[in-house]
């Protein structure tokens, strides 16, 4: 599991100070997963969810060096001494998800993937442009992770897998607020037309990615009783909430209150 040792910055007037504290508290209260549970996935469960867990385990792993590099030089955050420490803890939390899923794969004797074409596409997309594009690509995957982990939670009879999904869902719901804050601050000061163009491009990316996700992982959704209509409406609802939050933050001068809003179930 990833662990990041960070010293606390001097400034305390940043909205990212709360996020730094949140990620630290989260790191220090790891979930109590029932690793002792003797249940193992049945052959049919393995066939339905095994490949999807492999892909998500790979996708959750990122060193985030490009993200950190872009963020350190971005004018919106250059003066914020809390931003980078919070970002590093956020990346560590994602690595932790990958670590937990990896342990689950090992336990079920499912091999870990070292690469996958979809993962390569997303990593390349994140490297294409600046911080905003990088964060937008990342948060698109996180929005879609919510319905995926909800379905995975209900797709098998494994208590262990269920508890892992519950923990990741808890973390990912917070990540949406965190990323909305970052994107909202990046877009602050842009004219209305620029914001609309960015929102439109983001929506196109989201819809394309959602279709790909369904195509790749529909067996998990179907095992949990979801049809395409439910997946699409849930995913679009999460994305609409995210876009609304980004827009509110881009307009607002007060952003510290973004921590507790946008509740996601």
Interface contacts to Fe ion, rule CB under 5 A: 60, 94, 97, 142, 172, 175
User: How far apart are CB 221 and Fe ion at their closest, in Å?
Assistant: 18
Cβ-contact 228, 218 below 8 angstroms: yes
Whose CB is nearest to Fe ion?
A: 175
User: How far apart are CB 98 and Fe ion at their closest, in Å?
Assistant: 8
User: How far apart are CB 144 and Fe ion at their closest, in Å?
Assistant: 11
User: How far apart are CB 146 and Fe ion at their closest, in Å?
Assistant: 10
From 127, 104, 102, select the one nearest 113 (Cα to Cα): 102
From the centroid of its chain, how far is CA 82?
20
**Is 199 buried (19+), middle (13-18) or exposed (0-12) by CB count in 10 A?**
middle
**Cα–Cα distance measured from residue 214 to residue 21, given in angstroms and rounded to the nearest whole number:** 35
User: How far apart are CB 189 and Fe ion at their closest, in Å?
Assistant: 26
Nearer to Fe ion, 45 or 60 (CB): 60
Nearer to Fe ion, 60 or 81 (CB): 60
Cβ-contact 90, 175 below 8 angstroms: yes
Nearer to Fe ion, 17 or 172 (CB): 172
Q: How is residue 203 written in tokens?
A: 């929506």
**Cα–Cα distance measured from residue 142 to residue 137, given in angstroms and rounded to the nearest whole number:** 9
Nearer to Fe ion, 158 or 179 (CB): 179
Cβ-contact 246, 184 below 8 angstroms: yes
Cβ-contact 235, 143 below 8 angstroms: yes
Nearer to Fe ion, 36 or 65 (CB): 65
């Amino acid at each position: 599991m990833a662990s990041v040792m960070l010293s606390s910055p001097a400034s305390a007037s940043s909205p990212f100070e709360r996020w730094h504290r949140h990620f630290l508290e989260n790191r220090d209260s790891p979930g109590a997963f029932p690793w002792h549970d003797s249940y193992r996935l049945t052959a049919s469960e393995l066939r339905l969810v095994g490949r999807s867990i492999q892909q998500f385990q790979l996708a959750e792993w990122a060193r985030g060096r490009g993200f950190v590099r872009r963020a350190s030089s971005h004018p919106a955050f250059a003066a914020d001494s809390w931003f980078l420490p919070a970002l590093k803890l956020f990346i560590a939390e994602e690595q932790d998800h990958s670590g937990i899923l990896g342990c689950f794969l090992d336990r079920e004797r499912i091999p870990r993937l070292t690469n996958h074409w979809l993962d390569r596409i997303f990593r390349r997309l994140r490297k294409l442009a600046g911080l905003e594009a990088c964060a937008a690509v990342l948060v698109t995957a996180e929005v879609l992770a919510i319905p995926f982990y909800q379905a995975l939670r209900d797709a098998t009879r494994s208590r262990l897998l269920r508890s892992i999904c519950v923990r990741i869902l808890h973390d990912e719901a917070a990540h949406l607020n965190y990323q909305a804050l970052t994107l909202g601050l990046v877009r602050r000061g842009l004219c209305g037309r620029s914001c609309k163009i960015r929102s439109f491009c983001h929506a196109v990316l989201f819809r394309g990615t959602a279709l790909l996700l369904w195509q790749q992982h529909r067996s998990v959704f179907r095992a949990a009783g979801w049809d395409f209509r439910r997946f699409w409406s849930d995913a679009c609802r999460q994305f609409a909430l995210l876009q609304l939050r980004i827009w509110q933050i881009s307009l607002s001068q007060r952003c510290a209150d973004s921590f507790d809003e946008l509740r996601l179930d």
